[in-house]
Amino acid sequence: MKIEEKIVSDLAYDLKHKIVSIVIEELKCDTKVYALDEKREYLENLWEEYCVVIQDKNQDKEIKSSIKREVHSHLSKKFETLTYYKKIAIWLKTKEGVAWLYEKKDESCSLDDVPFSFNDCKDELYTMIEKIASTYYSDTIYRFLNLESRAFKEDFDEDDKDIVYE
């Protein structure tokens, strides 16, 4: 691998992980709830609700779509704060970017020649967030997915945790 390829690859890797981390933190700070049912009100934030939607295949598709749009909105806002060359670095590591680079490998190109697309980047970033959400764990998520609504009482005793996890 050429040194410039390594630099772009490492930069893109770092940027993607930074964006994903920031978006997840923003979702954790967002207390909006999309579904109004008895158990869901005990989820602490939009991140937990998103994790439940990803982990529980029986969740409402409409709610999943709404939350997915919200995640895309957060990704878009974070992505727009990047400088143009950082956006291109991320795009160059997408399937489309790699294909374009291979096609242009013997040509010299300027930044203006790059057929950059946010949608290519957004899909890859969303996939990263979805993968994290699919394995993310918290007591609240566990209780939501595995217990009846009666177990969500606010007097849930930490001493009962052993019983819950059996």
Domain ranges of the chain: 1-147
- Convert the pLDDT of each residue in 114-162 to its tens digit: 888 899 999 999 999 999 999 999 988 888 888 755 555 554 555 555 5
- How many DSSP H helices and E strands does the chain contain? 8, 0
Question: What is the DSSP code (8-state) at residue 120?
Answer: H
Amino acid letter, residue 129? I
- What is the distance between the alpha carbons of residues 9 and 15, in angstroms, rounded to a whole number? 10
- Convert the pLDDT of each residue in 31-68 to its tens digit: 877 765 666 667 889 999 899 999 988 877 888 888 99
Crossing angle, helix 84-92 and helix 95-103, to 10 degrees? Answer: 90
Over range 14-25, report the average pLDDT. Answer: 97
Q: What is the pLDDT at residue 10?
A: 94
Q: What is the pLDDT at residue 50?
A: 92
- What is the distance between the alpha carbons of residues 22 and 33, in angstroms, rounded to a whole number? 20
Over range 75-82, report the average pLDDT. Answer: 94
- Burial class of residue 57 (count of CB atoms within 10 Å of its CB; 0-12, 13-18, 19+): exposed
Crossing angle, helix 118-135 and helix 95-103, to 10 degrees? Answer: 140
